[in-house]
Amino acid sequence: MTNAAQEAEARMHGAFDSLDTLDHVALLVKDVAAAVAWYTRTFRCRVIYQDGTWAMLAFRNARLALMAPGRHPPHVAIPREDAARFGPLEAHRDGIRSIYLTDGDGNSIEVLDASSLSPVRGSGG
CB atoms within 10 A of CB 69: 11
91 neighbors 124 (Cβ within 8 angstroms): no
Residue among 20 and 90 whose Cβ is closer to a copy of itself: 20
Interaction of residue 36 with a copy of itself, rule CB under 8 A: no
Binding mask 48-67 for a copy of itself (x = CB under 8 A): xx--------xxxxx-x---
Q: How many residues does the chain have?
A: 125
CA 90 to chain centre: 16
CA distance 58 to 68: 18
Q: Per-residue contact track with a copy of itself, 91 to 120, x per CB under 8 A?
A: ---x------x-xxx-x-x-------xxxx
CA 60 to chain centre: 13
Which residues here bind a copy of itself, judged by CB under 8 A? 2-12, 15-22, 25, 27-30, 34-35, 38-39, 42-46, 48-49, 58-62, 64, 76, 78, 80, 94, 101, 103-105, 107, 109, 117-121, 124-125
